[in-house]
Each structure stands twice: as C-alpha cells, then as structure tokens.
Structure 1
Amino acid sequence: MTISPAGSRDFRLIWAGTTAGRLGEAVASVATPLVALTVLDAGPFTVTLLTAAAWLPWLLIGLPAGAIVDRLAKRPVMIAADVTSAVAIGSVPVAAALHHLTVTHLLVAALVLGAATVFFQSAWAAYLPAVLDEKQLVGANALLYGSESASKVAGPGLAGLLAGAVGAVSGLAVQAGAFAFSAACLLLVRRPERRPPPPLERHLWREVGEGIRYVRHDRIIRRLALHGAVSNLPLTGYQALLVVFLVREIGLSPGTVGLLLTLTALGGVAGAALVQPLVRRLGDARTLVVCKAGAGPCALVVPFTGRGVALGLFVVASTLVILGITAGNVVSASFRQRWVDPGMLSRVMTSIQVVNLGTIPLGAVSAGALANWVGTRESLAVMTVAYAASGLMLVLGPLRGLRDLPSRSLRGAGLPA
C-alpha cells in the first residue's frame, strides 16, 4: 500500500510553501499587466514584453543552471531563489509608492524573477523525488498541481479585488509576501535529501552536454520537450494577450476580468482531481495524450468572446483548456521524476525546459507585434489555431499505442528509451 504524501509533516510544509508561491504568481499574472495598462498606460506590445522578460532567463542561463544545481543540495537553492524573488517583486510597490515606477523597472524585476525561477524550478524538479518514494510521486504532484490550480482560482479574483480597492500594484506586494512565506516553509523542512554521489570529475559544460544528450536520445522525453516548445509558443501568445483582449476589446473592468479568470482556473483544480482516476482507467500515456492534445481545440472558441452568452462560452472553453494542461502536466512531471536518473535530473529538466520554455519569449513578443499589426482579436485567433494544431505532435508520436509510460525500474528489462 502506498502511503499518502500528505501524511508527512515535511511534505505538508513543502506543499504549503509551494501553494503560497503559486498564489502570489497567480495574483501577479493579472496584477502585472493591470499595472502596465492602468498605472503606466502601456500598450499590448509592452505587456507582452513583460511576459517575454520573465521567460528569457531560461534561454540565457537555463542549461548551466541545471548543471550547477545538480552539484548542490536542492533546498538551499530553492530558499535563495524565493528570497531573491521576494526582493525583486517587492521593489515594484516600493517604487510605485515613491512615484518612481517605470516600464523599465517592471522589465528588470521580471528578468530577475525569471532568473530566480530558473534556479528554483531546476532544484524543485530533483527535490521531490529526493524526499519521497517513487510510488508517491503521482499523488504528490496531483496535490501540488491541485493547490497550484486552486491558487489560480483565488489569485485572479484577489488581484481584481485588490486592483479595484487599493490599486493594481498591491497585487505585487502580495506576491512578494508569498515568496517570503514559501522560503520560511522550506527552512522548516527536516527530512534530509537523498543525494546521488558526486562525479569523480567535474566539468560544467561537459555536464551540461550530458543533459542535452539525454534529452536528444530518449525518444519519449525528446517528443514531450519538442511538443512543449511548439505548443508553448502560441499558448504564451494567447495568454499574454488575454488580459489586454478582455480589457481593451471586450471592455471589461479589472474586477470582472479577475472574476472570469478565477472561474476558468477551476479547470486546473478539476484536472488535478481527475488525473489519478484517468490514469487508472486509461493509463498514464493515454491520459497524457488525451488531455494535452484535447486542450488545444477548446481554445478555438476564445477569439469569438463577446458580451452576454459569449462570455459564458469563453469560461467553458478556457476551463477545459486549463483542465487538459494541468492533468497532462501532472502525468509528464511524474514520468520524468521516476524515469530520469536522480544524478542527472536537474540537468535533464533544465535541458527540457530550455527547449520547452525557450519559445515562450518569442510567442509573447510575436503575439504583441501581431496584435499591433492586425488587432488583438485577430492575433488571438492565430495563436489559438496554432496551439490546437500542436497536439498532433503527441497523437502521431512515440506515445501512440502506449497505455502506460515506462519507469526507471523497467530499464533492466530492456525497455527502449
């Protein structure tokens, strides 16, 4: 019988800290574009630049960060990243209070936050399997993604309420506090990490190359990484334009935007709750394909959003998109954690993330440039069509015909990579 990870005090601390961090990010995901739009009177292109800046560090430092993190204990790296994030984001409301806030300040804060996130996520990928048993990973990831989704439910509404009551900048103060709380929770964790033995020789770029080669030679890992890159480009463009679209094109107030995004984020809660029953019924490979590939066509409804009934269709479609993404992410994260050798996990994860997330800045900037050229609604339509088409990479790839994804324990049986 598998013991639930929720029974562990240390996991509950990790869970609480992660949830707080995700709540802060959910608040800021709405608060940041609202600050740019309502405080600094920025246009669509500037708003998408903020999204690009947050993801650019994956391209700049992602690969060496993974190799560095593989050499270190993961928890101190995560704590340092949380503290750095709190300071970077906390500087924005301070600058606003002193009437010195500029678009440049927002961009720099986004870059610093992005760099801290690279190190946090690189460490996080290897930390969970270092403190939990393999059989607990799906349950743990379901709880973590479920609380992340619940944070996304509460976050946009909270951002809208704060924006209406005391101004959009206050949402970023909430995010800074959430990062500080996450660091405090990690400080209280007692369970030591299971750390793999260090290599006899250390060479940073050789270790980086090992992670890249692993991704290139493992057919399932490679396909998931490439699908992430192709799908994230239009998905990020779609997400970067969404607040601009709802405020400028549909004419909704910040509070209404927050409420709508709160409702759609319920899809993430549903996805995390449904993933384990789906895996038991369909197998994790089929669940991954159905959820990830099925999310794209639902997004095609979003550009047709308008007032009245069309807003209801927007909520339903966006909810299904988030449901599919969340359930698919739980399965893929659990697979990587149980399949990749522990001593290489951070390097492999950052190699995947550089491929996965490297297209995000391009997607955000492309969507903004296209919106300036042909209009926000039209740009949104292009992004959703491209996102829907990306699911074919999973339907026609090496996952086709598989019921279940492999695990590390099956390597000895000669399972092909």
Structure 2
Amino acid sequence: MHHSYEGLDGLGAGPAGAGRDGGSLLTPLRERDFRLLWTGATASLLGDGAFLVALAWQVYAMAGGGPTGMSLVGIAMTVPTIAFLLIGGVASDRLERRWLLVGADLLRALSVALLAGLAIGGQLALWHVVVLSALYGTGSAFHAPAFDALVPEILAGERLTQANALDQLVRPLALRLAGPALGGVLVGVAGAGGVFLLDCATFLMAAGTVLMMSPARGDRARAEGGSLLADLRTGWRFVRSHAWLWATFASAAVAYLLFMGPVEVLLPWIVKEGMGGSAFDLGLVFAAGGLASMACAVALGRFGLPRRGITWMLLAWTLATVAVAGYGAATAIWQLMLASALFNGLETAGTIVWATTKQRHVPAALLGRVSSLDWLISVGLLPLSFALTGPVSGAIGARTTLIAAGLLGALVTFAALFVPGMRTLDDRASGPSRRPLRNRWRLRVL
C-alpha cells in the first residue's frame, strides 16, 4: 500500500494516474524481493483468516466468553494497535524496514504460540486471550507502516498499481474466503489450538521470506535521527501542508465513525432477524463483496489508474458509502448481495488508487510516519462507532441507522472534494492550463 519517490515538488515518477500502467496483475512478482515479501504476506493473511474463526470459537466456548468476552478481546487487540501506530511509523522511517517486519511477525508468532500452548494444555482463560491479543495488536502496529513503506523501495514506479491491486485481490480471498473456510475445517479436526499453531507457522514463514530479501532493501532513506516527538512533528507538518493527505484522513475518520460500526454489527442482524435468513445467506452476502473486491482489483491492475486519481477515488468511496444505505433499504438477500458487491468493489478500487498515490507522492523518508498517521486517524474513532451503534439502533431502528449512516458518510466523503488544495495532484496530472491555478480554483468553488 510502495519505490523511489520524487516527492510532491519533483514529480519525476509521474503523478498518480498519469498514463496507463498496463501489464499483468502478476507483473510485480517478477521482482524477487517483492515475490518473497508477497509470499510471506499471503501466507500470513491466510493464517489470520483461520485464526479469527478459531479465536471466536475458543472465546465463545470458554467460561466468561460470549459477546461480552469477544468484545473485550476485540478492544484488547485494537487499542494497542492504535496506541503504538505513531511509534511504529517513526520506527519504520528510522530503522531498516525488513528487520521491523521480522520483529513484528515474531512478536505475533509468540502471542499465538502461547495461545496455542495454553489451549492445547486446557489452561486457557479469558484473561490470557485478552493479554495475548494485546501483544498481537502491538505487533500489528509496527508491521502496517513498515510494510506500506517497504514495497515502494522494491518495485519500479510503473508496477505500483499492479502491486496494490494484487494486495487487494489476495486480502479478501485470504481473510474472507479461504482463511475462514480453512479455519472452520481445522477447528473441527485439530481444535482451536491447532489453528493457533498454524497461524504461528505462517508468521514464522513471513519472517523467513523477509529475511531472504536483499539486505540493501529498506535502508535508503531514514528519519533525521532527532527525538521521537521531533520525528512525529516532521511527519505531521508534511501531512498538514498537503490537503490531499489531511482532508482524506479526516473524511475517512468521520465516515468510518458513521458507518463502520453499523455495518459490522447490524448487517448480520438484518440477515438473521430482519429477513429470517441463515448463516449461509450471510456468507453469500460476504462472498459477493469479496468477489467484487477481487474483480475490481484485477481490473485496476490490468488497466491502471485513472488520470484524475484523487477525484476518482473520492467519487468511488462516496458511491461505496451510499451502498451502505442499501443494506438498510434491502428487502431480499439478493439486494444485500448487490449492496455488498457495490460497497466492497468500489471501496477496493478507491483504496488501490489511494495507496498508489500516497506511495508515489510522499517522500520515502516520511512514508512510514505518513502511513501510521493514515492508519491512526482513519481508524481511531472505530471503537466509538461500535459503542454508538447499539444505543442509536435501539432508538431509531437498525434499518434507519444503516440508511442514515450510509447517506451521512457519503456526504462527508463527497464534501472532501471541495477542500481547497484537495485536487492539486489532479490539476497537475491534467497538464498546464491557460488560467493560473488560483483562478481555476475560484471558478470551481463558485
């Protein structure tokens, strides 16, 4: 979500969407280091998909489990991730990113190995799961910005779109389809402890593939070497000086606050209680979204980015968020499947454009910190979104909550297009105009 950067003022690599990247979706795999990184990451995602099924099964089966226990585990996993993201971003700009990825993978491998040992030995209690989930979440906080910043150092600029599309193709396949299916089978065969061991093995594999990469990778550009706070201020100043960054972060934070909790909590309720559907029906809804995500990833990987990438991205995300309202308006399973396909497909398309644009136009020495701010600001309000969903849906109803969340979230996303400076990259990609940029902007807002 990745190469040598020219920065915003030296667009030697070309603006996001300039021309068509073309080529096969698998083109980035010709590069040995990316092939190693991708192989380990794919195995890890598959293990995570199985792990989430086994974790839920284990928590619901133990004393003190149930929805409340699962909520505690979710909080334990996400709060450390949010708390350590900024430190992880600074670390990824200071240290060799390969070693940071290895350390994060080993930390998560340790957490699931301990879970496996306790589960197999029959000693696992809820407090063990909470503590080890927090350890797992801490590792994720260091892994995410380092991974985002490492890929651009490996691939040539014209292959960034394919790399991001490949990521968005594999992610839903591993996390939503293959991984959970594998986890469901293995829980019945080997128990939750066996699945935890499998996930541990995938983290070790991921660490091993990263170690096999070229030692020269990940040490080209590093933070200035000042204090932690100084490095954070430098990253924040860069974000604040570019509207296409800070306005996207802010709009995503508010939109996720509005719709993410309602979707995660209320969509299963709509299927089960609102339509009298089964778990199989819910699986169909999720599968439709996963397949649409993969189809959009393949399309963008094949045909490249649109020229006016920021505008296209925000419009795609706006329409995706409108589809959330479709969950509330739907009266049949096929309508939920259609809404899921639209939401996930358009969300994936916008994410590919965003990741590639960020990687091309943020200087390499700042990319870890900018990515950590992206993650932190975008997901920082998610706990509040989940907390508000219950009382709001209780007051106005589940369907009304989903419709309002989708429409308000879409409005917030669309409004970001009109923030001054948001479309600077698009204006550059469109070439010179006879009017000065300042005048063009004045005409646009009038």
Which TM-score band (shorter chain)? 0.7 to 0.9
Q: CA deviation at 1:415?
A: 9.3
Alpha-carbon distance change, 90 to 198 in structure 1, aligned in 2, over 3 angstroms:
closer
- Answer yes or no: is 1:264 the counterpart of 2:289: yes
Match for 2:146 among 112, 118, 123? 123
Deviation at 1:332, TM superposition (A): 0.8
Q: How far did 1:275 drift? A: 2.3
**How do 1:251-330 and structure 2 match up within 5 A?**
257-258=282-283, 260-276=285-301, 279-280=304-305, 283-303=308-328, 310-330=332-352
> Are residues 1:352 and 2:374 paired?
yes
Bigger mean CA offset, 158-167 vs 373-382: 373-382
Inter-partner Cα distance in structure 2 for 1:305 and 1:33: 28
Unaligned ranges ≥5, structure 1:
none
What SS is found at the alignment partner of 2:219? Answer: coil
Q: Distance in 2 between matches of 1:188 and 1:199?
A: 25
Q: Where does 1:92-107 land on structure 2 (aligned, <5 Å)?
A: 92-107=115-130
- Residue matched to 1:195: 219
Q: Of 166, 170, 178, which residue of structure 2 is paired with 1:147?
A: 170
Following superposition, the deviation at residue 398 of structure 1 comes to 5.0
Contact 1:78 1:120 in 2 (8 A): yes
| Of 199, 219, 223, the match for 2:243 | 219
CA contact (8 A) 1:157 1:258 kept: no
Supply the AA of the counterpart residue of 1:292.
W
Structure 1 residues 228 and 139: CA distance shift in structure 2, 3 A: same
Match of 2:96 in 1: 73
Matched residue, 1:342: 364
Question: Structure 1 stretch 338-347 or stretch 25-34: which is displaced more?
Answer: 25-34
> 2:288, 2:180 → 1: CA distance?
9
Matched, 1:19 2:42: yes
Instruction: Verify the 8 A CA contact 1:10 1:190 in the aligned structure 2.
Output: yes
Q: TM (normalized to structure 2)? A: 0.78
Structure-2 change in CA distance of 1:210 and 1:358 (3 Å) = same
Distance in 2 separating the partners of 1:238 and 1:172:
29
**C-alpha offsets along residues 14-41 of structure 1, whole Å, 9 cap, x if unaligned?**
1111112222233344444444345557
Say whether the 8 Å CA contact 2:281–2:333 is kept in structure 1.
no
In the alignment, the residues of structure 1 paired with residue 104 and residue 403 of structure 2 have an alpha-carbon distance, to the nearest angstrom, of 36
Asked whether the 8 Å contact 1:45–1:369 carries over to 2, the reply is: no
Answer with 319-328 or 365-374: which moved more.
Answer: 365-374
Which residue matches 2:387?
Answer: 365
CA shift for structure 1 position 211: 0.8
- Partners of 1:246 and 1:257 within 8 A in 2: no
Distance 1:251 1:173 in 2: 37
Aligned length: 408
Moved more, 311-320 or 259-268: 259-268
SS in 2 for 1:86: helix
1:245-274 Cα deviation digits (max 9, x unpaired): 379747766666556533431122112112
- Which among 86, 89, 111 is matched to residue 134 of structure 2? 111
Q: Secondary structure of the residue that 1:391 maps to in structure 2?
A: helix
Per-residue CA shift, 1:140-190, capped at 9, x if unaligned?
111122121321332333344445666566554443332222222212222
Pairwise CA distance, 1:218: 0.9
How far does residue 113 in structure 1 lie from its aligned partner after superposition? 1.6
What SS does structure 1 have at the residue aligned with 2:95?
coil
Tell me the CA shift for residue 301 of structure 1.
2.7
What is the DSSP-based 3-state SS (H/G/I as helix, E as strand, rest coil) of the residue aligned with 1:300? Answer: helix
Structure 1 stretch displaced more, 256-265 or 202-211:
256-265
Letter in 1 for 2:254: V
For 2:150 and 2:79, how far apart are their aligned partners in 1?
Answer: 24
User: Which residue identity lines up with residue 315 of structure 2 in the other structure?
Assistant: V
What's the counterpart of residue 180 of structure 2?
Answer: 156
Report if aligned partners of 2:92, 2:368 keep a CA contact under 8 Å in 1. yes
Inter-CA distance 110–235: structure 2 relative to 1 (3 Å threshold): farther
| RMSD of equivalent CA atoms | 3.6
- The letter of the residue matching 1:267 is A
| Cα distance in 1, alignment partners of residues 398 and 49 from structure 2 | 23
Q: Take 1:276 and 1:403, find their aligned partners in 2: how far apart are those partners?
A: 21
Structure 1 residue 48: Cα displacement? 3.9
Q: In 2 relative to 1, CA 160–317 (structure 1 residues): closer, same or farther, beyond 3 Å?
A: farther
Secondary structure of the 1:361 match is: helix
Find 2:257's aligned residue among 230, 233, 239: 233
Q: Which range moves more in the overlay, 323-332 or 186-195?
A: 186-195
2: CA distance between counterparts of 1:164 and 1:371?
Answer: 35
Q: How much does 1:376 deviate?
A: 6.7
Note the C-alpha offset of 1:221: 0.5
Q: Is the 8 A contact 1:52 1:362 kept in 2?
A: no
User: If the length of structure 1 is used for normalisation, what is the TM-score?
Assistant: 0.83
- Given the alignment of the two structures, is residue 64 of structure 1 paired with residue 87 of structure 2, yes or no? yes
Segment drifting more, 43-52 vs 214-223: 43-52
> Aligned equivalents of 1:199 and 1:190: distance in 2?
21
Q: Write the distance in 2 (CA, Å) between the matches of 1:169 and 1:254.
A: 24
Structure 2 stretches lacking a partner, 5+ long: 1-20, 439-446
Amino acid in the other structure paired with 2:352 = V
Distance 1:323 1:2, change over 3 A: closer
Structure 1 residues 191 and 235: CA distance shift in structure 2, 3 A: farther
Which digits, 9 at most, give the CA deviation of each residue in 1:315-373, with x for residues without a partner? 22112211112111111111111111111111122122221121122223333565688
